Structure 1
Amino acid sequence: MVNGTRTGGHGTRSGGNEPCTGGDGPRAGANGPRTSANRAGTDAGFDAWFAERARVNEQRVETIPFSALSGWDFDPATGDLRHHTGRFFSVRGLHVRPAGPGGPPGWSQPIIDQPEIGVLGILARTFDGVRHFLLQAKAEPGNINGVQLSPTVQATRSNYTRVHRGGSVRYLEHFTDRRGRVLVDVLQSEQGSWFLRKRNRNMVVEVDDDPPVHDDFRWFTLDEIRALLHRDNLVNMDARTVLSCLPPEHPADEHGALHSLTEVTGWFTEAKTRCEMTAEVVPLTGITGWRRTPTEIASEDGGRFRVIAVDVTAPHREVPAWTQPMLAPCAQGLAALLYRTIGGVPHFLVQAQAQEGCLDKLEIGPTVTRVPGEHGGLPADMRSPFRDVLDSLSPDRIRYDRVQSEEGGRFFAAETRYVIAELDEDFPTEVPSRFCWATPGQLKELLRHSHYVNIEARTLVACAEALA
């Protein structure tokens, strides 16, 4: 058990019972953090403010036995790990057949079931003719470094309806009451290998008034935020997904695109009709290949991920102390987007990616992914054939290479290495049927709608825009 483990500032976790580690390649990319002429993104004023918020919002996170959880228990009939209110989330079992009935036997796993829809909202306001966005320095128990930049509002329905009997969520009324001009309002999925059909409401609302700004909040221009995306583990997953959904600065022009938007959506629809994967919720006691001990639920092969319990002390949160289960990945993830210029127009190589927890079986994902928790027994036609291409690229082809944290409220020390790399112009345009070339403008158009672009690809869209 980790005793007295603290998170905060830019430190890392310490203790004897860390999540198992691993991963792909270096933590930092070939390109260093970009500089920015904009003040808040890179100057000492931002760093001093952020360090102070990390100090003030320091939290203590300890791993504990399941028996020490308060308000959580294993259901005697199913073994599912639930909160006594029936709210928040639960840990259930899932049985997956990658090729449907009659195909390979598939696998079983735990999965987080959080059916309620939360709010991820960023407040916008124009100062001196430049649009700014209000971000929050927020501590989450699973964050690798304690505090990260999050949306103005990042709250589950259970939290903002105060099931926990804690404090209210600042600025929530701008999103629930739609106080202002709505720039973005779309349901988007989250990690399909760890969540069961999870969705959150991604919103950006622009206001004309000047709301009071709490010390944990700060206005940023879009350029400043994009500069910060060139730092590891700073802009959190929830902020990245909302930013990816912002309307494009310039309307998409399909002139020069290899495929029309209609053809891209047709390709994706066809892929969904061909996907035979089935995922059935089963009792947690009924999953095979996993063992439960007093302190964890872990796969018998020692890989993938674990379910653990933590005790959190965070004096400046709506609730100053609580316990909860968390999913702890056993390796660093990888998500890579390859692109090339076709007819003078950049095109991303995307895939129709099946994930067991997706509401509609699959969504559009990056060219290459390795998700901790993704079952190693996937059929060959569900694995990316472009991993070797990525590994063979010279460093001068790597345009973005950073490690970013995944959602720290449910995942413990979860990181993904995000890579954007440029292919030679003679790279074949003919690709396997599960893949398709799409322009940045076409992906932005699809992001106006739900259940098209998955969470890893949305992060890469936000990072690609930081390269402009």
Structure 2
Amino acid sequence: MNYSEKISISIEAIKGENSMDDFWSWYNTRLAKNAFDITEIPLRDVSNWNYNDESVSHSSGKFFKVYGIEVETDFYGKRKWDQPIISQPEIGILGFIVREIKGILHFLVQAKMEPGNINILQISPSVQATKSNYTRVHGGNSTPFIENFLFKKDESVVYDQLQSEQGSRFLKKRNRNMILDLTNVDFPDSIPDDFFWLTLGQLKALLNVDNIINMDSRTVLSGLPNYTVGNTSYKKNIYSDSLRADDEKSFRPLSYLFSWIANLKSNFEIKANLKPLIEMKGWVTSDEKISSSGDRCFDVIGVKIGASNREVKSWSQPILASKHVLLNGIVMQKLGGVPHLLFQAAFEPGNFDGVELAPTVQSSLLEFDHDPSNPNLSFAGYFDKDFSDKEVLYDSLQSEEGGRFYHDQNRYSIIHLKENTIDKIPENYMWITLNQAKKLILINNIFNVESRSLLSCMI
């Protein structure tokens, strides 16, 4: 049996080593047995952090910093703005351990508290750690299972890529996304209380629940190898037909897509220069927080945290608090009878490589762009409740990274439109099959984190 078939079996398995009732019992027990306390405090009162006119930084010089940046670009229209941004150049590890249990692939998850989580505990990968955390700069406990990822055996690697995080909030931030199959490697029979085994079918079911599967899990799951799915539902037909489509049946061959992306990355001018926080235009710095002068974007605030199940039991930190629930949505439509996904090449100031592929609609791209001709505005209409001529394949509220963003949730949606509903697309948009997406995601910095989150919801 090849690995694609093993993945397919796990996707179909809604019951494995544990049932869904077992999962919810475990989750509620973890929530009840651990003590959590998150309090918003003035940014000036965040202990062990230095907040001044220049930046916000940790006294150790590690973890992350908040700077101001001045952004200027000619990417499909000249724009210029200032904003705060998180600088965290170190590369963390986001990784799933996978093992076959009773012939079915299971993924090791953990119930992890992050200070920004709306519901306190969310389901994270087996390992979710910044380099500062797993090298124990904080002086706390070691990260469970980290040794499997630091000293991995090559034959265990299913997926291993450096991938970006939110380019609208992070400056050139990347994490190592990994999936390791340790079926044939010595591994303890018992696992810590905060960990649990789930099949892909169970993870798929939980992806339909608001704010349970965290962003780090979603980005790693998007890197699952290509697989086949059954024909037991309409949604599976749509995805499987797109997964099976070869280059001859695609809107554009893969070679064209590589050239199109390279052309965009090289032909537009994008500047993002650091500047002192106090000098940012359109922003107000105070003892309480850093905030935009309008009702847009986000604030930088302080929080004080107590958590009994973390490596360090109490700490305080700055965190970004978004002001609105935004839309991240992908349109699917058949071209020549083959289902395609519509992505846009988008510039975000913190992107490591300038331009990455974003969903059809990503509302954060409108925060500093007030051009009424922006295609994000027109395509967003297809996701409105008033537009009834569509099939909703997926729709839920999902949280962004809870370690750096406070109560930040966005609407993630996938819709299928009738053929020829969209007959023309802007130059920075492209129709791509799911088969092509599975190949492109094996390359660093092609899909942004919002796109990867949506691709994970197609399992």
Q: What TM-score results when the alignment is normalised by the length of structure 1?
A: 0.87
Identity of aligned residues (%): 40
Q: Is the Cα–Cα contact under 8 Å of residues 17 and 101 in structure 2 kept in the other structure?
A: no
Q: What are the superposed Cα offsets for residues 241-267 of structure 1, whole Å, 9 maximum, x if unpaired?
A: 000011111486334112111112222
2:47 to 70, 73, 79: 70
Q: Match for residue 240 of structure 2?
A: none
CA deviation after TM superposition for structure 1 residue 384, in Å? 5.1
1:281 aligns to 2:274 (yes or no): yes
Matches within 5 A, 1:51-90: 51-75=28-52, 79-90=54-65
Which of these residues, 330, 338, 355, is aligned with residue 345 of structure 1? 338
Once residues 13 and 102 of structure 2 are traced to their aligned partners in structure 1, the CA distance between those partners, rounded to angstroms, is 19
Who is 1:11 aligned against? Answer: none
Q: Is the 2:106–2:199 Cα contact (8 Å) retained in structure 1?
A: yes
- The more displaced of 456-465 and 37-46 is 37-46
1:121-179 CA distances to partner (integer Å, 9 max, x unpaired)? 11011112211110001110000000000000000000000000000000000001114
Secondary structure at the counterpart of residue 341 of structure 2 = strand
Q: How many Å apart are 1:44 and its aligned residue?
A: 2.0
Matches of 1:345 and 1:35 in 2, distance apart?
A: 24
Residue number among 373, 396, 402 corresponding to 1:402 in the alignment: 396
Q: Which runs of 5+ in 1 are unaligned?
A: 1-33
Query: Is the counterpart of residue 216 in structure 1 residue 214 in structure 2?
Result: no
Return closer, same or farther for 1:185/1:37 CA change in 2, 3 Å cut-off: closer
Amino acid at match of 2:397: V
Residue of structure 2 equivalent to 1:112: 86
1:21-40 equivalent positions in 2, closer than 5 A: 37-38=14-15
Q: Output the amino acid matched with 1:61.
A: I
Q: Which residue of 2 aligns with 1:357?
A: 350
In the alignment, the residues of structure 2 paired with residue 428 and residue 372 of structure 1 have an alpha-carbon distance, to the nearest angstrom, of: 21
How large is the RMSD of aligned CA atoms in angstroms? 2.2
Equivalent in the alignment of 2:208: 230
Unpaired runs of 5+ in structure 2? Answer: 1-10, 229-242
Distance, in Å, in 2 between the alignment partners of 1:150 and 1:256 is 37
Q: 1:373 to 1:339 in 2, by over 3 A?
A: closer
The 2-side partners of 1:328 and 1:372 are apart by 17
CA–CA distance in structure 1, aligned partners of residues 17 and 80 of structure 2: 49
CA–CA separation in structure 2 for the residues paired with 1:87 and 1:334: 33
- Correspondence 1:286-297 to 2 at 5 A: 286-297=279-290
- Aligned mates of 1:153, 1:226 — CA distance in 2: 19
| 1:180-329 to 2 correspondences below 5 Å | 181-207=156-182, 208=184, 209-211=186-188, 212-250=190-228, 253-329=246-322
Which protein has the bigger helix share? 2
Pairing partner for 1:443 from 419, 437, 441:
437
Report whether the alignment pairs 1:421 with 2:415.
Answer: yes
Q: Quick one: structure 1 residues 324 and 287, their matched pair in 2 at CA, closer, same or farther if it must change by over 3 Å?
A: same
Aligned-residue offset at 1:270: 2.0
In structure 2, the partner of 1:93 is 68
Is the Cα–Cα contact under 8 Å of residues 44 and 51 in structure 2 kept in the other structure? no
C-alpha separation in 2, matches of 1:384 and 1:199: 29
Counterpart in the other structure of 1:163: 137
- Could you tell me which amino acid in structure 1 is paired with residue 444 of structure 2? S
Decide whether the 8 Å contact of 1:305 with 1:372 is kept in 2: no
CA apart distance, 1:66: 2.3
Distance in structure 2 (CA, Å) of the matches to 1:216 and 1:262: 45
Match of 1:50 in 2: 27
The Cα of 1:378 is off from its aligned counterpart by 5.7
Deviates more, 1:450-459 or 1:297-306: 297-306
State whether residues 111 and 194 of structure 2, in contact with CA within 8 Å, keep that contact through their aligned partners in structure 1: yes
How far residue 429 of structure 1 moved from its aligned partner, in angstroms, is 4.3
Q: Which moved more, 1:202-211 or 1:357-366?
A: 202-211
Measured against aligned partners, the alpha-carbon deviations of 1:410-468 in whole angstroms (never above 9, x if no partner) come to 00000010010011112244311111100001111111110000000001101122xxx
Structure 1 moving runs of 4+ over 6 Å? none
**Which secondary structure does the structure 2 equivalent of 1:234 belong to?**
coil
Give 2:69's aligned amino acid: L
Secondary structure of the structure 1 residue equivalent to 2:458 = helix
How far off is 1:382 after superposition? 7.0
